[in-house]
A and B are shown apart, each in its own frame.
Chain A
Amino acid sequence: MAILELRDLTKRFGATTAVDHFTLSVEKGEFVSLLGPSGCGKTTTLQMIAGFETPSGGSILLNGRDLRSVPARQRGLGIVFQTYALFPHMTVEENVGFGLEMRKVPGDERRRRIAAALDLVHLSHLSGRYPRQMSGGQRQRVALARALVIEPELLLLDEPLSNLDAKLREEMQLELRRIQQEAGVTTLLVTHDQSEAMALSDRIAVMQGGRLIQEASPFEAYDRPTNAFVSTFLGKSNAIDAHLEETRDDGAVLRCGDIRLAGPPSPARPGPVLISLRPERIELCDAAAAHVSGRVGERIFLGDQWLFKVETSLGELLVVRPNSGRREPEPGETVHLSWRTEHLRILAAEPAA
């Protein structure tokens, strides 16, 4: 059964609609991410679930119970805020114990549960410190322990890693996943960072302009995006304007300018479409096998991989190749590109922007 269900959730601030008929359900134990660009309504959605904003329409159900008339303090949710929101005048232990104190948990049990929560986030040795004496990553863990110690039915995380530097962020991603699984807590994460959403979640809900655009597993959302926005927001992608001439059971025929391309079978109707092609799915090949040829414009070294910008008659294509020590084409060189037909995604054309 779904722990959390959002049905047509809507929030308007005056003339702007921050969240627009948003529907999503989260199953027990699941880790779901709300992913979208800045201003798409992620925080607003989370605040409505937490009870700090009143929905303009739609409903929120927790374990089948409508939360409309339940005040924030009685919802029993664990929340980690983007700023951590630790209580500055309380020690780590007092911070973590605050929720238990409010629940009138007796002293013995309280101490035991605080210790267990601090143990879970590997902070037992710092229980007497004040937040100002801790690093960003440590504060982050305290915030997590404070939210988890009340054993919430649902953990809400608002961009919990965005204040950390890149290296620490990666470490904390693994840490967060471990803690979530050990605690077995159903989690809803809000983030604008696609790699974070992919690394952490069982399921990603991609949001744009307050609406749900696609809901899928990370692999599916990346490999089979259902629209152009998702294909470019999750990872890099080449978006090529094309015309769908014909669809058959065994494939499609596409035309880009004077070039004809074979595509995978598609339910799309003939007419203007958008082709999405991941840069790492493009291979270098002989002139004879090439789908298209072009000249390397720019070459960027990224450590573990090379990024090429190749000028072709399909437009500029991004090509990514792993750095495996072999010789790579130089800027100015002519290269021949090919790909497997099934790696093309045929998407509805973007309405003229």
Chain B
Amino acid sequence: MRRNGVFAKLFSLVFALFMLAPLVVVVGVSFTPEGFLEFPPSGISLRWFRAILDNPDFIDAAIVSLQLGVASATIATAICIPAALAIGGGRFPGRDALQALFLSPLTVPTVVLGIAFLRFLSTLGLNGTFWGLVFCHVVIIVPFVLRLVLASVVGLDPSIARAATSLGAPSLTVFRRITLPAIIPGVVGGWVLAFITSFDELTVTVFIVNPATTTLPVKLFSHITQTTDPLVASVSTVAILFTVALMLVVDRIYGLDRLLIGEGSH
């Protein structure tokens, strides 16, 4: 057991290094005073952070990404709460089909999804619009939200809602006062995961944006195909800081490991 423990720790350490190394490089590069990508940086300078301010394209793209993330995560969560309550609440005809439908975007290659969305949105005349993007992102992130919300619903004792009903609560009150607070860790976890997934989604989005709705990942991608200045690194560093801050806040409130491992109830 003990030897196993040491081995497991070593493995985790190597794995963590492996995961973190690219981030360290990106953050390191962003502080370079030079006009090209170098690592380790030859000095410390905020030059490329100031450069962000001179590139309103990036700021616009970041705002689109934020709005897109918030809108699609919120809509996906709103769809997944009732779906998870139904799927986790018991057997009914079509239950497995419903669950399979919600999880199906995971099984389709994203490139294929991207082409499909392009055709679909063009037909509807929504291609390149913000709400067209929102629609596609909702489809992509729904499986993630559903999995997390479902994990809390399944851990929920069905007699809790019955107890509230027997005490005289109308069904909307039961949901608002009892069920929702009991599954809120899964709901918040699902929303955050959905937001992050939407925020850095590239493969599908690249097919369906237009210049007015370019998202941050698409902007970075197209910038990198044209030049190799460290601006992409400083933008990425800001995005990383933002994500870490979001995670820290959520962790403080709900405990991240509980959210992501799916231990919904107290």
A residues near B, CB below 8 A?
50-52, 72-79, 81-83, 85-89, 98-99, 102-103, 130, 132, 146, 150
The smallest C-beta distance from B91 to any residue of chain A, in angstroms, reads: 12
Are A79 and B168 closer than 8 Å at their CB atoms?
no
Q: Which residues of A contact B227 (CB under 8 A)?
A: none
Q: Which residues of A contact B170 (CB under 8 A)?
A: 73
Are B167 and A146 closer than 8 Å at their CB atoms?
yes
Interface 1/0 per residue, B162-190 and A, CB below 8 Å? 11111111100100011001100000000
Measured in the bound complex, the distance between the Cα atoms of B169 and A102 in whole Å is 6
Are A75 and B166 closer than 8 Å at their CB atoms?
yes
Are B266 and A81 closer than 8 Å at their CB atoms?
no
Nearest neighbor of A87 in chain B, beta-carbon distance: B178
Selected contact of B163 from candidates A75, A81, A89, A130, CB within 8 Å: A81
Measured in the bound complex, the distance between the Cα atoms of B178 and A146 in whole Å is 15
B265 within 8 A of A: yes
Further 10 A-B residue pairs, CB within 8 A, beyond A74-B168, A132-B266? A73-B166, A73-B170, A75-B166, A82-B159, A85-B162, A87-B163, A88-B160, A88-B265, A102-B169, A150-B167
Interface centre among A76, A83, A89 (most CB of B within 10 A): A89
Measured in the bound complex, the distance between the Cα atoms of B170 and A102 in whole Å is 9
Are B266 and A72 closer than 8 Å at their CB atoms?
no
Interface centre among B164, B167, B266 (most CB of A within 10 A): B167
Nearest neighbor of B163 in chain A, beta-carbon distance: A85
Are A88 and B266 closer than 8 Å at their CB atoms?
yes
Q: Which residues of A contact B162 (CB under 8 A)?
A: 50, 52, 72, 79, 81, 85
Nearest neighbor of A149 in chain B, beta-carbon distance: B167
Measured in the bound complex, the distance between the Cα atoms of B162 and A99 in whole Å is 12
Q: Which residues of A contact B169 (CB under 8 A)?
A: 73, 98, 102
B96 within 8 A of A: no
**Known contacts A88-B265, A89-B266; A79/B182 CB under 8 A:** no
Are B167 and A83 closer than 8 Å at their CB atoms?
no
Measured in the bound complex, the distance between the Cα atoms of B161 and A89 in whole Å is 13
Measured in the bound complex, the distance between the Cα atoms of B181 and A130 in whole Å is 14
How many residues in B have their beta carbons less than 8 Å from beta carbons of A? 19
Nearest neighbor of B162 in chain A, beta-carbon distance: A52
Are B181 and A98 closer than 8 Å at their CB atoms?
no
Closest 5 CB pairs of A and B: A99-B167, A102-B168, A85-B159, A85-B163, A81-B159
Measured in the bound complex, the distance between the Cα atoms of B169 and A75 in whole Å is 11
Nearest neighbor of A94 in chain B, beta-carbon distance: B177
Are B178 and A77 closer than 8 Å at their CB atoms?
no
Measured in the bound complex, the distance between the Cα atoms of B166 and A75 in whole Å is 7
The smallest C-beta distance from B166 to any residue of chain A, in angstroms, reads: 5
Are A50 and B157 closer than 8 Å at their CB atoms?
no
Interface centre among B173, B177, B182 (most CB of A within 10 A): B177
Are A72 and B166 closer than 8 Å at their CB atoms?
yes
What are 17 A-B interface contacts by the 8 Å CB criterion?
A50-B162, A52-B162, A72-B165, A73-B169, A76-B168, A81-B162, A83-B159, A85-B160, A86-B160, A86-B163, A87-B160, A87-B163, A88-B182, A88-B266, A89-B182, A102-B173, A103-B168
| Interface of chain B, main secondary structure | helix
The smallest C-beta distance from B89 to any residue of chain A, in angstroms, reads: 13
Q: Which residues of A contact B178 (CB under 8 A)?
A: 87
Q: Which residues of B contact A146 (CB under 8 A)?
A: 163, 167
Measured in the bound complex, the distance between the Cα atoms of B39 and A187 in whole Å is 77
Residues 112-164 of B contacting A (Cβ, < 8 Å): 157, 159-160, 162-164
Measured in the bound complex, the distance between the Cα atoms of B162 and A52 in whole Å is 8
**Known contacts A81-B162, A83-B157; A98/B167 CB under 8 A:** yes
Q: Which residues of A contact B265 (CB under 8 A)?
A: 88
Measured in the bound complex, the distance between the Cα atoms of B171 and A74 in whole Å is 12
Measured in the bound complex, the distance between the Cα atoms of B69 and A200 in whole Å is 59
Nearest neighbor of A98 in chain B, beta-carbon distance: B167
Q: Which residues of A contact B173 (CB under 8 A)?
A: 102
Q: Which residues of B contact A82 (CB under 8 A)?
A: 159
The smallest C-beta distance from B178 to any residue of chain A, in angstroms, reads: 6
Are B157 and A85 closer than 8 Å at their CB atoms?
yes
Measured in the bound complex, the distance between the Cα atoms of B177 and A103 in whole Å is 15
Measured in the bound complex, the distance between the Cα atoms of B160 and A87 in whole Å is 7
Q: Which residues of B contact A51 (CB under 8 A)?
A: 166
Nearest neighbor of B167 in chain A, beta-carbon distance: A99
Interface centre among B164, B166, B181 (most CB of A within 10 A): B166
The smallest C-beta distance from B56 to any residue of chain A, in angstroms, reads: 45
Measured in the bound complex, the distance between the Cα atoms of B160 and A82 in whole Å is 11
Measured in the bound complex, the distance between the Cα atoms of B230 and A330 in whole Å is 94
Measured in the bound complex, the distance between the Cα atoms of B160 and A52 in whole Å is 13
The smallest C-beta distance from A82 to any residue of chain B, in angstroms, reads: 8
The smallest C-beta distance from A129 to any residue of chain B, in angstroms, reads: 13
The smallest C-beta distance from B35 to any residue of chain A, in angstroms, reads: 55
Are A77 and B182 closer than 8 Å at their CB atoms?
no
Measured in the bound complex, the distance between the Cα atoms of B165 and A307 in whole Å is 48
